[in-house]
Chain A
Amino acid sequence: MKIWTVQHTFNYPWETVVQAAWNKYPNPMNTAVLGIDVIDRQVINGELHSHRLVTTRWTLPNWACALMGPISTFYASEYSKVNRDRRQLKLDSQNLSLGPFVIVREKLTYKPHPDDPQKTLLKQTAYVTVEGLPCSGYIENILTSKISGNAAKGRQAIEWVIEKLQHKQPL
């Protein structure tokens, strides 16, 4: 298993970043995300729990084509919790497609920066496990590198959405 982690500070308060996170897609940076559907959602003790289905389209590397055939649409399950009182958003997602050979699990936490509550700290961790395939370690490295690149695009996307929202309506 490969574990990859990163932290990033947004120069916006948590409330602004969370609203952008809900409106993150579509954006020009992450064009692979085709759809996000809500499977279930409820407020429990003031926490907003959401369970969503994320639909993505990938360009498959050759090793995956050999394994999966010409499939290009992939699904992931995402579970999230917003706690407004604690100013915390947690997301936890895992692929449904490609399992059980490939498991990509990503966890994100958005909360106020401990040194400046007007800024937001994002902590992102990905766990990549490839099993039962030849060259598992090599594939784990490729996937981890892709996740790192897409995470950077994801952060740019949040900034892009914030600017878009602020032009539409002052938050």
Chain B
Amino acid sequence: MDDNNSSPAPTKVDRLNSFHPDCDELKQQYDECFNVWFTEHYMNGHYNNEGCNKVFELYTDCVKRGMKEYGLQYEQTTASHLGTNKEKTPLTDTENSK
């Protein structure tokens, strides 16, 4: 959360890398697919995202493998958020969504 004062601002970098080098290429492919889908489809009310499914599976499998390798538990990341039904309710409430 704090900035690394010893690094110059990466003004020329226009994308983030994956946390694990093995996943970086898949991340770039997936992000590209997702960004197009989000802008052109999701925001226009078309929610089907099958076009990105294949690369999504490969990429998230890689991320989960990488997390295991680095000792970051997938369960830990899910448990720390919205962990109770009480907290989940307001976010998943879709009754006013139409």
Cross-chain pair count, CB within 8 angstroms: 137
Answer yes or no: A81 CB below 8 A from chain B CBs.
yes
User: Which residue of B has the minimal Cβ distance to A37?
Assistant: B63
Q: A30-B3, A34-B19, A81-B91 are in contact. List 20 more A-B contacts (CB 8 A).
A: A18-B43, A23-B35, A26-B13, A28-B10, A31-B3, A32-B1, A35-B19, A37-B19, A38-B34, A41-B56, A45-B97, A46-B94, A46-B97, A48-B42, A53-B77, A83-B97, A84-B43, A86-B96, A90-B91, A94-B80
A73 to B45, CA, bound (A): 38
Q: How far is the CB of A130 from chain B (nearest CB, A)?
A: 14
**Contact indicator B76/A15 (Cβ below 8 Å):** no
Q: How far is the CB of A40 from chain B (nearest CB, A)?
A: 6
Answer yes or no: A33 CB below 8 A from chain B CBs.
yes
A40 to B78, CA, bound (A): 10
The 0/1 profile, CB within 8 Å of A marked 1, for residues 38-78 of chain B is: 11001101010100000010011001100100001010111
User: Which residue of A has the minimal Cβ distance to B66?
Assistant: A37
**Contact indicator B19/A55 (Cβ below 8 Å):** yes
Chain A interface extent, by class: 35 or more
Chain B interface extent, by class: 35 or more
Using known A-B contacts A59-B5, A146-B2, determine if residue A96 contacts B76 with beta carbons closer than 8 Å.
yes
Interface residues of A in 61-103 (CB under 8 A from B): 72, 74-75, 77, 79, 81-86, 90, 92-94, 96, 99
Interface centre among B5, B11, B16 (most CB of A within 10 A): B16
**Contact indicator A92/B1 (Cβ below 8 Å):** no
